[in-house]
Amino acid sequence: MDKLLEELSKGVVTVVFEKIDTGEIRTMPCSTSKDFCDGTFIRKQDPKGHTFVMYALDKKAWRDVRVNTIKEWYKGYPKEKT
């Protein structure tokens, strides 16, 4: 999770996770970099924490994601389905 937090602070990361309320799989482009967020400052997050706060670029809103619901993540925007 250290690497995920590092990449979020640098730029755009796509996080694929299961929504707690519906069980739906969500693919979310997000960041914690000031270059992509609404100007709100996020302090350093604990890589051993149970949740991470990230800015959802598609919703233009902050979201917290439980670490144990993350299925995968990768640098960049969501991949095109082929």
The DSSP result for 41-60, as a single string, is --PPPPTTSSEEEEEETTTT
**According to the model, what pLDDT value does residue 81 have?**
54
Domains of the chain: 2-75 (2.30.30)
**According to the model, what pLDDT value does residue 15 have?**
98
Does residue 11 contact residue 33 with C-beta atoms inside 8 Å? yes
User: What band does 82 get if pLDDT is binned at 50, 70 and 90?
Assistant: very low
pLDDT at 14 over 70: yes
Mean pLDDT (the chain, rounded) = 92
pLDDT digits (tens, 9 = 90+) for 22-45: 999 999 999 999 899 877 777 789
Euclidean distance between CA atoms 52 and 19, whole angstroms = 14
